Structure 1
Amino acid sequence: MAQGETMTPVRIDDSRPLAIVLAGGQGQRLAPLTNTMAKPAVRFGGCFRMIDFTLSNCINSGIRRIYILTQYASGSLNRHIRQGWVPLFSDDLGEVVELIPPQRVFAQRWYAGTADAVFQNIYFLQQERPEEVVLLSGDHAYKMDYSLMLEQHRETGAALTIACLPLPRQQCTQLGVLNTGPDGRVNQFVEKPEDPPPMPGDETRSLSNMAVYVWNTEALVSQLSADARRNTSHDFGKDIIPAMVAAGEPVYAYQFVAAGAGQPDYWRDIGTLAAYWEAHMALLSGSPALSLDDRTWPIYTYRPVTAVARICGEHPDQCCVRDVILSPGCVSIDAQITRSVLSPGVKVHGAVVDESVLMDDVVVEPGARVRRALVAEGVRIPANTVIGEDAEKDHRRFIVTDGGITVVPSRIVLNE
């Protein structure tokens, strides 16, 4: 810069969309994996955490103002965001990823529902003044370009746009279900129906709510303020959206198409232990529906400085690693590991692991056998221990799902 010249300040566009990520869920149906952490902090796919998918979608979609609303057991999630995500954002460019614990400004209590969580932080909307708010859940696995949804939202003049996906009706009893007119305007919305209404022309499927929303900020603030004065559960799916549809407000549906490589309609609300295990097994095929190494739509995460994964052994005939995701720091010595996902720091020595998901720093000692299991972080499985082969015995020590998946909680001490 020549002497006497002044630097032109960077103009920050305050009208840019703001993302709010709901990340305070306890995830009770995923217990005991969520006994010590919020559901968005739970590992998925080895080295990732569930919230990484939502945050990566934001970055890849050009959304770089993000507020993350936390509540339950947020320690590990806070650490993950601070170490892995804060360095990716520039304050000088008006970018932010910020963790917001319950403020308790309007009520001296925890959040009563999803809408109440946003209402109690309405100050940040007044401060940032974005034209649109992208409201997201932090515990779903999918890849999505939110900018395309924003384009449709603006073109239709909607107050609210809801991302939706056709699913088999029997899968929709724990989701919101909507129907639309020919122009995509929502004319029916029901939350978690016992008998989900079918899509027009398709009796086998329902149009499900993905909990991905684009709001006009003015409409969002108005709806939150009105709901706060009513005696409701203060939930978007149960209260606000059905009331808006019934009142004839301009609510539109956006047909989801996955971004990047992989299956074009992949989206998972991984709400149960069985679904969690099944989603991991699906990652192990030659062409998985959700590609974790897709360079066209990368998934970011915190990657600490650690040792590389190693497969070694003195007895080649005992060493077999096939269809496995190995995270950094994993060590396999004379082990037989098949169709399994190993998170960072897992050690397997002279043991058998089959169709299992092992969380951070699990140690499996010689002679042990682990089959069809979910093992929480830090568990040491002593030599010659057998898990997943005797359901009756496993029931006395662990949680066993209806489908026969054995779940070993953290902090458990197994006998030698």
Structure 2
Amino acid sequence: MNLQREMKKTLCILMAGGKGERLYPLTKARAKPSVRFGGIYRIVDFTLSNCLNSDIRRIYVLTQYRSVSLDRHIRLGWSIFNHELGEFIECIPPQQRNVDRWYRGTADSIYQNIHILQRERPERVLILSGDHVYKMNYNDMLAFHLEKKAELTVAGVEVDRKLASAFGIIGSDDEFKIVDWEEKPKDPKPVPGKPDMSFVSMGVYIFNTETLVKGVIADAKNSSSSHDFGKDVVPAMIGRDKVFVHNFKEANNEDGRYWRDIGTLDAYWSANMDLCEKDPPVNLYDPEWLIRTYQEQVPPAKTVSTSSHGSGLLNGTALNSIISGGCIVSGGTVSHSVLSTNVRLEPGSLVEDSVLLDHVTVGARAKIRKAIVDHEAQIPDDFVIGFDLAKDKERFAISPGGVVIVPRGISLG
């Protein structure tokens, strides 16, 4: 089997049009896939890097909600494909060719773009989501799909059962054929022998094109459908078609199973905090599986000592943290935090267990704990965030997990 040849017969469609309502207010001015993550990246970079590293060079990105920043990021950071060799990445907003409406769901977005499949005529379609953080070689999944002679293969992964109600729960037989599917149940079924874990869909699909087209056309005719793959199309195929599950393993790490759906503020914060660990569960420094992005031209980050009135010499320090280019920690302290580009900390300031997006300024002696501070927020001198949640609630949104959300562009002075 020549996987490289088979992958060239596979078209990738990346879903990037969701509102990301549970990630609000970070998605107030941008689509969820274009939210900054891990200092220098956008969330979508992880899925696109998986594609590039898996030698997938024909990619359509389906956009819809507030897509300007996403379109710009892909244009600046991902225009690396050779069109003369048939390679491309293209952003496609709703065309409304066969219906006069926006996308109603993931399946409907494919239905409204059936003309692409008719034009490209791929043998298979790889459907991905633009809001997950993971490292996956899609060639492994394709090999499994071909070996099983499947009509649909779904990528699955074990997650904590407490979190599993947000996903489709998969049951399979000894041959990995899916025999049961329950979408977002209140009481998820555990993995046999692992009562604290559930086996869930990652929202990664390989369809035979003919099967996909039949499925979305039938779904479009169903007036009671929500037009979603996980809720409608896939469950309708169970027991009727050859539907299999591929057990996810991390690229370049046989024992790795790190996959995060960055769908909520708590999940976003937690995944960023994972990167600050001594041995992070997802390795950003693997030269064999680089995560690509677009970076603006900024000077290197630096920490400096500063004299402060009444406090003597204050050393700028950063421990167990990611500090992006353009950041200046001037006599402040950063601990277990992620700083995006061009963040400035003034003397005596403290940032711990927090995510600061680009162009944030933290004033002298200000303190921030367990917070997400959005783009261009200005924190004044002596201001305190995250130490008194009752007081914070008067000014900010607070996630169910107790993360304080400081909105974009706010000036608290």
Same fold (TM over 0.5): yes
Aligned to 1:27: 20
CA shift, 1:401, in A, is 2.1
1:60 aligns with 2:57: no
1:335 aligns with 2:332: yes
Aligned to 1:383: 381
1:320 aligns with 2:313: no
1:241 aligns with 2:234: yes
Residues 92-133 of structure 1: CA distance to partner in whole angstroms, max 9, x if unpaired?
A: 111000000011112211111110011111111111111111
* Correspondent of 2:199 among 199, 207, 214: 207
Tell whether the 8 Å contact from 1:262 to 1:288 is kept in structure 2 after alignment.
no
CA shift, 1:286, in A, is 1.2
Aligned to 2:368: 370
1:170 aligns with 2:167: no
TM-score after normalising by structure 2: 0.94
More displaced 10-residue stretch of structure 1: 140-149 or 322-331: 322-331
CA shift, 1:14, in A, is 9.9
* Correspondent of 1:285 among 277, 282, 285: 277
AA of the residue aligned to 2:177: R
1:348 aligns with 2:345: yes
Q: Give 3-state SS (helix, strand or coil) of 1:55's partner.
A: helix
Aligned to 1:153: 145
Aligned to 1:94: 86
The 2-side partners of 1:365 and 1:113 are apart by 44
AA of the residue aligned to 2:360: V
- Counterparts in 2 of 1:53 and 1:233: CA distance versus 1, 3 Å: same
- Counterparts in 2 of 1:62 and 1:380: CA distance versus 1, 3 Å: same
CA shift, 1:15, in A, is 5.3
Tell whether the 8 Å contact from 1:261 to 1:297 is kept in structure 2 after alignment.
no
- Counterparts in 2 of 1:15 and 1:144: CA distance versus 1, 3 Å: closer
Aligned to 2:124: 132
Tell whether the 8 Å contact from 2:7 to 2:139 is kept in structure 1 after alignment.
no
- Counterparts in 2 of 1:295 and 1:262: CA distance versus 1, 3 Å: farther
Tell whether the 8 Å contact from 1:22 to 1:137 is kept in structure 2 after alignment.
yes
Q: Give 3-state SS (helix, strand or coil) of 2:125's partner.
A: strand
Tell whether the 8 Å contact from 1:14 to 1:130 is kept in structure 2 after alignment.
no
Aligned to 2:72: 79
The 2-side partners of 1:181 and 1:261 are apart by 26
Aligned to 1:253: 245
Q: How does 1:270-281 map to 2 (within 5 A)?
A: 270-281=262-273
Residues 222-260 of structure 1: CA distance to partner in whole angstroms, max 9, x if unpaired?
A: 1111111111111101111000004x2100010000013
AA of the residue aligned to 1:77: L
Name stretches of at least 5 consecutive residues in structure 1 with no aligned partner. 1-11
Aligned to 1:191: 183
The 2-side partners of 1:261 and 1:245 are apart by 31
AA of the residue aligned to 2:58: R
Tell whether the 8 Å contact from 2:8 to 2:56 is kept in structure 1 after alignment.
no
CA shift, 1:317, in A, is 4.1
Tell whether the 8 Å contact from 2:378 to 2:409 is kept in structure 1 after alignment.
no
Residues 180-236 of structure 1: CA distance to partner in whole angstroms, max 9, x if unpaired?
A: 111110011111011112334444322100001111111111111111111111110
**How many residues are paired up?**
402
The 1-side partners of 2:267 and 2:22 are apart by 10
- Counterparts in 2 of 1:14 and 1:242: CA distance versus 1, 3 Å: closer
Q: Give 3-state SS (helix, strand or coil) of 1:275's partner.
A: helix
Tell whether the 8 Å contact from 2:164 to 2:198 is kept in structure 1 after alignment.
yes
> Percent same amino acid at aligned positions?
46
Q: Give 3-state SS (helix, strand or coil) of 2:110's partner.
A: helix
User: RMSD of the alignment, in Å?
Assistant: 1.6
More displaced 10-residue stretch of structure 1: 193-202 or 151-160: 193-202
Aligned to 2:310: none
The 2-side partners of 1:102 and 1:263 are apart by 40
